[in-house]
Amino acid sequence: MAEKNYIVKIEDAKNFVVSSMVAIGTQPSHAQALADVLVLADQRGHYSHGLNRLEKYVNEVKSKSVIVENDPFIEKETVSTALVNGNNAMGCVVGNFAMSVAIKKAKEAGVGWVAANHSNHYGIAGMYSLQAVEQGLMGFSFTNSSPFLVPTRSKERYLGTNPITCAAPSTNPDDPFVLDMATTAVAQGKVEVAKRKDVKLPNGWGTNSSGENCTDPREVLKSGGLYPLGGPEETSGYKGSGLAMMVEILCGILSGSHYGSNVRTWQSNEGYANLGQCFIAVNPEMFAPGFQARLADLMKGYRELKPADGQEAILVAGDPERLAMKKVEEDGGILYHPNFITYLDGLAKECQVEKIARQLHD
């Protein structure tokens, strides 16, 4: 008999994150910021970056590689730019602060560009670009991360998954354009989820220690790595490698943080991560009028393209997440695999808090 999945209400998921983090000494406001970004990831269907990541944050706080008492601050600024010192606070706290600075500057000067150093893993990049959209602005965000990308022609990890996000408002406030993607073939967290579910990876996701295609998530995580976006060289993986380098320049090089192989390895809590991040807000009203209407028309035309034989509807960036959120609303909560609930129960025991509230999914 197949194991049944569980449904967890959004508020119950957030409460579990907050209680777990507060129990180990995190400021309540910082714990809430973490709950917001992790649960939003699961709501939007990005399980790789949701509660799947909670153990990492717990370990960082317990090892004191993240300083829970600290808050980020501005080191230097101009009317349209700023350098933020994350002060080794939680990445989501740094991200919220830095994007708020970029938004303020964009409203005053048309563009706000903020680089941040001494930061940590900040969750889904789209969290921050969407904050700009809520203010009628275009938003961009980027972050470097622990080396996991194996560049084209190499068999060694050198760059992180280095995500890119761009979000822009249309005339329908519920229908912005939201691109949120890794510059690797897939996010590292999806390999972790496959490991937890005990399933093989598709071809073209990861490599073994020799730089060859590998479908075993354990081997990819332990001694291999991820292909760049595009896969091997013959399918243009060098373009993904180039995009990852671009993100590294915007984040690690521009902010003066760690970069490339200088970033500590994934799941290591030795020393401080000192990640670099970049946040940009742009006021489209400073350019040609009618931006939102033109974007809505662009997306409408894209969606109305005739599907290829055997294919379903054409999706604009952000559509898969809207569908995921709609399903969460219909289900009355977020759907989780039983193995994942077991993992959360283990975290509850470790943090000495109540297990996450859940109910069996019919």
154 class by beta-carbon count within 10 Å (0-12 exposed, 13-18 middle, 19+ buried): middle
What is residue 102's predicted lDDT score, i.e. its pLDDT?
Answer: 98
Q: pLDDT tens digit string along 21-43?
A: 999 999 999 999 999 999 999 99
State the amino acid at position 304 in one-letter form. E
Whole-number mean pLDDT of the chain? 96
Q: pLDDT tens digit string along 303-338?
A: 999 999 999 999 999 999 999 999 999 999 999 999
Task: Determine the angle formed by the axes of helices 319-331 and 28-43, rounding to 10 degrees.
Answer: 100
What is residue 115's predicted lDDT score, i.e. its pLDDT?
Answer: 98
What is residue 2's predicted lDDT score, i.e. its pLDDT?
Answer: 60
Is residue 263 pLDDT above 70, yes or no? Answer: yes
Q: pLDDT tens digit string along 102-145?
A: 999 999 999 999 999 999 999 999 999 999 999 999 999 999 99
Is residue 53 pLDDT above 60, yes or no? Answer: yes
Q: pLDDT tens digit string along 335-359?
A: 999 999 999 999 999 999 999 999 9
Question: Hey, is 143 helix, strand or coil?
Answer: strand
Expressed in angstroms, the distance from the first to the final Cα of the chain is 14
Q: pLDDT tens digit string along 82-112?
A: 999 999 999 999 999 999 999 999 999 999 9
What is residue 343's predicted lDDT score, i.e. its pLDDT?
Answer: 94
Is residue 195 pLDDT above 70, yes or no? Answer: yes
Position with higher pLDDT, 196 vs 183 = 183
Residues forming beta bridges with residue 84, ordered by sequence position: 74, 116
Closest CA to 72 of 81, 63, 84, 64: 84
Is residue 197 pLDDT above 90, yes or no? Answer: no
86 phi, psi to nearest 5 deg: -70, -15
74 class by beta-carbon count within 10 Å (0-12 exposed, 13-18 middle, 19+ buried): middle
pLDDT category at 267 given cuts 50, 70, 90 is: confident
The H or E element that residue 23 is part of is helix 10-23
Is residue 199 pLDDT above 60, yes or no? Answer: yes
Is residue 3 pLDDT above 90, yes or no? Answer: no
Report residue 220 CA to chain centroid gap.
20
